[in-house]
A and B are shown apart, each in its own frame.
Chain A
Amino acid sequence: MARNSSLVFEGRQTQLKPLFPEDVTQEYVSWLKDPGVNEFLEARFKKHTLATQRAYVRGFDQKTKFLWGIFDKKTKKHIGVITLYDIHPMHKYANYGYLIGNKKYWGTGAAQEAIALVFDFAFLKLRIRSISTGAYAPNVASVFNYKKMGLSYQGTFKERLLYKGAFVDQVWYGITRDEWLSRRKKLAF
């Protein structure tokens, strides 16, 4: 698959680049196995190797389903990934997900900046009309991030997800294009 430079985005501290199977490293695989990183990820239910993760990455065609590596702009270090998927061609909605695997970058604003770059791409280039995402209800840090980015509460699936031996609620948050354009002006990215 050809690398498309029009899918490379830069913020103040991060750079997003489409990720390809050959970009998958042992470090990336190790994030998925780390209980601190995967606590609220479906990844914790699976076994991960270079081969399985390369197969996962191959599933993103970077045309209708996107996966970017999140890199430290200065050091070029790979610190996480972010996805935009379930893009509906008629309804113009999409979902997104992300993970910052390198814990040194937690609390640095890297995730928020990466999300902002993907939202800009989705809403302004792809002309998506709304983006949503779900979280385990106990994942208060993710829900906080949704609010910080301007997403609003959409609804709850009761007792939907298995977490620490119990079934917990899944909460959904979303944002429309107009809401994002309004929120975007207030973010310092």
Chain B
Amino acid sequence: MSTEERIKSIMADSLEVDRTLIKDNASIYTIAQWDSLQHLRLVMALQEEFGMRFGDREIPDLVSFAAIQEAITKKMKSHGKE
């Protein structure tokens, strides 16, 4: 499964929404159910799936699929996981 698919799958599970709702433009502004508790659940699931940690300053910025993909790709590159 591609990184994109893994992220979208985790987003759907953590936010408890249908996978089809996780489009490329998915964000806290397009998914009403995406609240602070689900956000923390999502971050923990992403950290576990990708074996990386997000700092306090990074976590609130992961507010869209694009932002999450960018952050994960960046960390993968810096850790030579790409």
User: B residues engaging A (CB < 8 A)?
Assistant: 28-29, 32, 34-40, 43, 56-57, 59-60, 63
Whether A107 pairs with B56 at a CB distance below 8 angstroms is no
- 11 more A-B residue pairs beyond the given contacts A141-B40, A148-B29, with a C-beta to C-beta distance below 8 A: A107-B35, A107-B37, A107-B38, A109-B32, A109-B35, A140-B39, A140-B43, A141-B39, A143-B60, A148-B34, A188-B32
Partner of B36, one of A137, A141, A186: A141
Whether B32 pairs with A107 at a CB distance below 8 angstroms is no
Q: Which single residue of chain A is at the shortest CB-CB distance from B41?
A: A107
Provide 5 A-B residue pairs closer than 8 Å at the C-beta atoms, listed in order of the A residue: A109-B35, A137-B57, A140-B43, A141-B37, A147-B28
A52 at interface (Cβ–Cβ under 8 A)? Answer: no
A48–chain B nearest beta-carbon distance, Å: 25
A30 at interface (Cβ–Cβ under 8 A)? Answer: no
Given contact pairs A147-B28, A148-B28, A186-B29, A140 touches B59 in the complex (Cβ within 8 A) = yes
Chain A 170-189 interface residues, beta-carbon cutoff 8 Å to B:
186-188
Whether B56 pairs with A147 at a CB distance below 8 angstroms is no
CA A81 – CA B41 in complex, angstroms?
Answer: 25
Whether A148 pairs with B56 at a CB distance below 8 angstroms is no
Whether B36 pairs with A107 at a CB distance below 8 angstroms is yes
* A residues near B37, Cβ cutoff 8 Å: 106-107, 141
Partner of B56, one of A108, A109, A111, A140: A140
Partner of A148, one of B36, B40, B57, B59: B36
* A residues near B39, Cβ cutoff 8 Å: 140-141, 144
Whether A138 pairs with B56 at a CB distance below 8 angstroms is yes
CA A143 – CA B40 in complex, angstroms?
Answer: 12
Q: Which single residue of chain B is at the shortest CB-CB distance from A168?
A: B56
* A residues near B59, Cβ cutoff 8 Å: 140, 143-144
Among A109, A111, A141, A148, the one with the most B-chain Cβ atoms within 10 Å of its Cβ is: A148
Query: Which 10 A-B residue pairings sit nearest by Cβ, starting from the closest?
Result: A107-B37, A143-B60, A141-B36, A140-B59, A144-B36, A188-B32, A144-B39, A144-B60, A138-B56, A148-B28
A145 at interface (Cβ–Cβ under 8 A)? Answer: yes
Whether A147 pairs with B32 at a CB distance below 8 angstroms is no
Among B34, B37, B38, B43, the one with the most A-chain Cβ atoms within 10 Å of its Cβ is: B37
